[in-house]
Amino acid sequence: MKKTPFSDLKKLLSKTKTISIVTHVNPDGDAMGSSLGLYHYLKSKGKNIKVIVPNAFPDFLAWMPASKQAMVFEGNEVAVKKQIEKSDVVFILDFNNYKRIDALGELIRNSAAKKMVIDHHQKPDTVFDYYFHDVEASSTCELVYDFICGVDSKKVIDKKMANCLYTGIMTDTGSFRFASTTQKTFQVAAALIEAGAKNADIYNSVYDDYTENRLKLLGYCLYEKLVFVPEYKAAYIALSEDELKQFGFKKGDTEGIVNYALSVGGMDLSAFFSVKDGAIRISFRSKKFDVNNFARAHFNGGGHINAAGAKSILSLDDTVKKFIDLLPQYKTELKK
């Protein structure tokens, strides 16, 4: 846990006029929920504020209030650069390493703005000015809730903030089933519902709004592409760019597929490999195995103990082979 005192954060906000909120590449529910939840709070305080995302977010998150006002860095580099340059503070949400946002990270690093991190991932960089960081939190949205309550009051949380923040908590806890879900998580979720979050509507918008192609892609992954390595309690799915195109891939269509292998008894490690625009992206999930250390050690990635992301500069086949070849090194840990 690394948190700047609320007294210092209040002083920061009191003398700040123009703010940018930035989240990570391929924004998920927690990234967009925390960014937009904070956006609505700061907007209510009269701040000039913009949410910036490195690239586009999935359609199933586009229902969140003000999502369409987010600036997408990819393809709008000049406009985003101007926004960063005029910002007094840049809030860095749901990541804690500039590498997670590629070229946008260097732009922020070199800006004169103060940098404020709100995040729950492990091993944050030490290059930022202010921190509201806690790996015990279920989500960055839970931390944004704490941040708002600490610098102000829970009474200021309105329906827009509540719907955004609830979305991130729900998605990052796997609908409140992951081990990161605590008594406090439920208390925060209850407070957000009291403030106006429509929990059933949020669930339906995120999980029950599949396209036909997305559902067929899921079926294809589970029937044709899921490979088990039972001697290491591991499984993986690897999709080529051509396979994604076959199902009319849209951003977010593979969200959550990596989790399915863990529903098989005895499995402890699941990996999902995909190719998009020539880049290999990897998702790791586990029940007990530390995928954060695994991703950091071998795939230039990281995240949480049970959920991490990574990249690879190898071909898809070579990346999968590397993953399989690494498993014997972790046999003891995976067999626990």
User: Residue 76 above 80 pLDDT?
Assistant: yes
Give the pLDDT score at 130: 97
User: Residue 3 above 90 pLDDT?
Assistant: yes
User: Residue 335 above 90 pLDDT?
Assistant: no
Predicted confidence band of residue 123 (pLDDT cuts 50, 70, 90): confident
Phi, psi of 279 (to 5 degrees): -100, 135
Give the pLDDT score at 320: 97
Query: For the segment 212-227, what is each residue's pLDDT rounded down to a tens digit?
Result: 999 999 999 999 999 9
Please name the amino acid found at residue 44: S
Q: Give me the helix-helix angle, 183-194 and 159-172, nearest 10°.
A: 150
Predicted confidence band of residue 1 (pLDDT cuts 50, 70, 90): confident
Predicted confidence band of residue 276 (pLDDT cuts 50, 70, 90): confident
Give the pLDDT score at 194: 98
Calculate what percentage of the chain has a pLDDT beyond 70: 100
Give the pLDDT score at 99: 84
CATH code given to domain 212-335: 3.10.310.30
Predicted confidence band of residue 206 (pLDDT cuts 50, 70, 90): very high
Query: For the segment 152-181, what is each residue's pLDDT rounded down to a tens digit?
Result: 999 999 999 999 999 999 999 999 998 899
Distances (CA, A) of 119 to 3, 93, 131, 260: 10, 6, 8, 26
The average pLDDT across 84-100 equals: 94
Query: For the segment 16-54, what is each residue's pLDDT rounded down to a tens digit?
Result: 999 999 999 999 999 999 999 999 999 999 999 999 999
User: Residue 336 above 80 pLDDT?
Assistant: no
User: Residue 323 above 80 pLDDT?
Assistant: yes
Give the pLDDT score at 24: 95
Predicted confidence band of residue 100 (pLDDT cuts 50, 70, 90): confident
Predicted confidence band of residue 73 (pLDDT cuts 50, 70, 90): very high
User: Residue 192 above 90 pLDDT?
Assistant: yes
The average pLDDT across 64-70 equals: 96
Nearest to 33 by CA among 136, 156, 171, 147: 171
Question: 248 near 219, Cβ under 8 Å?
Answer: no
Domain with CATH 3.90.1640.10 in the chain: 2-207
Number of helices and strands (H, E) in the chain?
13, 13
CATH superfamily, with its number, for domain 2-207: inorganic pyrophosphatase (n-terminal core) (3.90.1640.10)
Residues 6 or more apart in contact with residue 8 via CB below 8 angstroms: 130
Burial category of 15 from C-beta neighbours within 10 Å (exposed 0-12, middle 13-18, buried 19 and up): exposed
Residues 6 or more apart in contact with residue 293 via CB below 8 angstroms: none
The reported pTM is 0.91
Residues 6 or more apart in contact with residue 333 via CB below 8 angstroms: 289, 290
Domain with CATH 3.10.310.30 in the chain: 212-335
Q: Write down the mean pLDDT value for the chain.
A: 95
Query: For the segment 101-122, what is each residue's pLDDT rounded down to a tens digit?
Result: 989 999 999 999 999 999 999 8
Instruction: Give the C-alpha separation, 143 to 149, whole Å.
Output: 10
Q: Which helix (H) or strand (E) holds 44?
A: helix 29-44
The average pLDDT across 252-262 equals: 94
Q: Give me the helix-helix angle, 183-194 and 140-151, nearest 10°.
A: 60
Give the pLDDT score at 170: 98
